Every structure is written in C-alpha cells, then in structure tokens.
Chains A and B, each alone.
Chain A
Amino acid sequence: MSRLSRYLKENGLTLAFLGLLLGAVIGQAFSGVAELNGEQRATGGATLSLAEYVLSSSFAVDIAENWQSEYLQFALYIVATTWLVQRGSSESKKLDEIGTGSDEEQKIGRYAEPDSPAWARAGGLRTALYGRSLGAIMTFFFLLSLLAQSIAGRAAFNGQLLERDQDAMSWAGYVTSADFWNRTLQNWQSEFLAVASMAAFAIYLRQRGSPESKLVGAAHDATAEDP
C-alpha cells in the first residue's frame, strides 16, 4: 500500500467529511447567489457575482448560524456525557461511572503510560487543561461562530431595516433582537433533538459495524462498553 493510500485509509473519516463540507459550502454558495440574484432581478436591484456573494453578510450569517449550533451541540454533548448517563445507550457511560474519573482511570500524572501525551503526564494545571481541551476547543469555536453570526447577522438585518425605512441597529441592539434569537434558537432546537434522538434510539436500534452503535446482539440495557 502506498503512503498516500495508507494516509487516505487512516484518515478517511476526517477527509470524507471535510470533502462533504467543501462540496456543501460550494453548493450553498451557488444556490444562495442564484436565489439572491433572482430576488434582485425581480425588484430591479443590482446582482452580485459569486465572489461578492461569498464575501457578503447574508452568506456569512447563513454559514455562521449553522456552525455555532454544531459546535454548541458537540461542546454540550462532550461535557454533558461526563455527568449525565442514559441506561442502555451506546452514547453513554455506565451508570456507576458518572464524573471525571480518577487519575488512574484517566492514565494521567504518575499513572501515565509511556505513550501518553506529555501534558497528560505533566500534572498540575497543564494536565487539568489538557483534560478539558476537547470541550474547550468546541466551546471556543462555538463562541467564535456565534460572534461571527452576530456581526454578519447584524449587517444583513440592517440592510433589511434600511429597506423598510427604519434606522439600523447597533451590535448590542442586534444581539438582543428577535431576529438574532430566532436564527439562533431554530438551529439549537434541531441540535438538541438530534442528540436526544441519538441517545434514545441507540438503546434499541443497532448499526452493524459502527462504533456509534452497540453490537447488534448486545442487550438493550447494555452500554457500548459492556461485553
């Protein structure tokens, strides 16, 4: 197997989804500019090129509002599954494993193994930070995307306000506006539904070969870690 083939095989999950992301964003850009230009032509307005549309506030807010909700979903799920369990779900730890676990269970500090990451072995603040880095990076991207949504959303909404003979809004005004929260909550509700569905469906339903599922023959009240 060549180095490239091996690289593709070993990173197939990440690469496949990055490819799907790219394809979907390109598709969104083409369909978005077509929709916007259709509206502009119908009202005699100026049309945008694809490049102008991709740099516009309406494209940015559509992207950012979806990204922030996805990062929120993962940040919450990563942290919530530390403390919340679901009997029988492959998405959950066992009922008696609630919490962050002991140093020995987590293989940190003096319990670190030879191939453990350096910050897992270091102890103190570095190990504490590293032990929360996955949730932290998801939270960071959530907040960054939410900030991007608020700025781009304000720009797009202010365009609509001026078209309706109204004054533009400040950023502070926009983040407390119905438009901002309607965009935000309609994305959040779908993420929360998806998490609840996954946690519950995984109790009774199986996907043969997927690490997201219990073994096909596993009992309904068994977790993924049960033999």
Chain B
Amino acid sequence: MPLALAVIVLAGGLTGCTDSTQRSEVQRVAVDFVTAIEDRNGADACELLTSEAEESVSGATDVACAVAVLNVEENGAEVRHVQIWGDAAQVKLGSDTVFLRELPDGWQVRAAGCQSQPGAAYKCDVEG
C-alpha cells in the first residue's frame, strides 16, 4: 500500500497534477486578459476577472471596472512561465505576472499587474 501511495504521489507530484488542456486554458485566459487591456478593451478584460478582483479594480471610487482596469500596465503577451498547483495558477507574460484561480465556471484572473518584491509577496495593481 505505501508503494501504491508513492506511485500516485510521484506521478501526480512530478507533473504538478496538471494536464495540457488545463495548462492551455490557464494560458489562454491570461493572454486574453493582457491582450484585452493592450487593445483598450476593458469590458472584455473585466469579464476574465474573479468577482473579488473586479470589485478591487474600482476600489472605493465609482469608476467602472472596464475603465479602471485599463490602468494596469501591460507590455506584450508573450508567455514566459506557467505554474499550476491545484486550483491556483501563475502566468508570467510580457512584463506582467498574473495569478489565476479555478472557479466552478473555469479559470479566472484573481490578481494582475503584479511585480515581484524581494522576500515578499508580489505587489499587484488588481488583487481579488
């Protein structure tokens, strides 16, 4: 039985438990989000956000998400790195790092416009 456990864990753990469909879906959502902002299409970008992230974009102001989200600085959508662990994912693309979460209706962007901080969590313009 320990051998069976080890085989399952090794198989799952070494691959990060992700399949190529999941990976391409995560990548697609991140690329679509960044491309929508670069195309100045805020409404499409907001549709890819989790509801918490969508609320955070406007913050305490009454500016609509579709307008406020265009303040996120993007510079290209070339994917450099994708990590998926369980229902959480990280995609590094262009000059941005985007964090996603898997929800009942698919992957959505939870945080975007994120820049790494030495020894700390990323600092994100959009944070859900």
Contacts of A145 in B (CB 8 A): 2, 5-6
Q: Is the pair B86, A159 in contact by a Cβ cutoff of 8 Å?
A: yes
B30 at interface by CB-CB < 8 Å = no
Contact with B along A61-85 (1 / 0, CB 8 A): 0011001000100000000000000
Q: Is the pair A162, B99 in contact by a Cβ cutoff of 8 Å?
A: yes
Q: Is the pair A67, B2 in contact by a Cβ cutoff of 8 Å?
A: yes
Q: Which of A46, A55, A58, A165 contacts B104 (CB 8 A)?
A: A46
Q: Is the pair B2, A166 in contact by a Cβ cutoff of 8 Å?
A: no
Q: In the bound complex, what is the Cα–Cα distance between A67 and B2 (angstroms)?
A: 8
Q: Is the pair A162, B88 in contact by a Cβ cutoff of 8 Å?
A: yes
Q: Interface stretch among A86-94, A113-121, A148-156?
A: A148-156
A9 at interface by CB-CB < 8 Å = no
The number of residues on chain A lying at the interface, defined by a beta carbon within 8 Å of a beta carbon of chain B, is: 36
A225 at interface by CB-CB < 8 Å = no
Known: A55-B12, A158-B85. A166 touches B5 (CB 8 A): no
Q: Which of A47, A141, A155 contacts B13 (CB 8 A)?
A: A155
Interchain pairs with CB closer than 8 A, number: 106
Q: Is the pair A45, B99 in contact by a Cβ cutoff of 8 Å?
A: no
Contact with A along B63-107 (1 / 0, CB 8 A): 000000000000000000001011111100000000101111000
For chain B, what secondary structure do more than half of its interface residues adopt (helix, strand, loop), or is it mixed?
mixed
Q: In the bound complex, what is the Cα–Cα distance between A6 and B121 (angstroms)?
A: 62
Chain B residue with the shortest CB-CB distance to A25: B1
Q: In the bound complex, what is the Cα–Cα distance between A45 and B2 (angstroms)?
A: 31
Contacts of B111 in A (CB 8 A): 165
Known: A165-B122, A166-B122. A46 touches B87 (CB 8 A): yes
Chain A residue with the shortest CB-CB distance to B50: A44
Min CB distance A87 to B, Å, is 35
Q: Is the pair B10, A151 in contact by a Cβ cutoff of 8 Å?
A: yes
What is the size category of the interface that chain B forms with chain A?
35 or more
Q: Is the pair A162, B2 in contact by a Cβ cutoff of 8 Å?
A: no
Q: Which of A21, A56, A164 contacts B86 (CB 8 A)?
A: A56
B124 at interface by CB-CB < 8 Å = yes
Q: Is the pair A148, B127 in contact by a Cβ cutoff of 8 Å?
A: no
Q: Is the pair A165, B127 in contact by a Cβ cutoff of 8 Å?
A: yes
Q: Interface of B with A (CB < 8 Å)? A: 1-3, 5-6, 8-10, 12-14, 16-17, 50-52, 83, 85-90, 99, 101-104, 111, 114, 116, 121-122, 124, 127
Please list 24 pairs of residues, one from A and one from B, whose beta carbons are closer than 8 Å in the complex, sorted by A's number: A45-B87, A45-B103, A46-B87, A46-B102, A55-B12, A56-B17, A57-B9, A57-B12, A57-B85, A60-B5, A147-B10, A148-B6, A148-B9, A148-B13, A151-B12, A152-B12, A152-B13, A154-B13, A155-B86, A156-B85, A158-B85, A158-B88, A159-B88, A161-B85
Q: Interface of A with B (CB < 8 Å)? A: 21, 40, 44-47, 55-58, 60, 63-64, 67, 71, 141, 144-145, 147-148, 151-152, 154-156, 158-168
10 smallest A-B Cβ distances: which pairs?
A: A151-B13, A162-B88, A159-B86, A158-B85, A159-B85, A148-B9, A165-B121, A165-B122, A60-B9, A152-B9
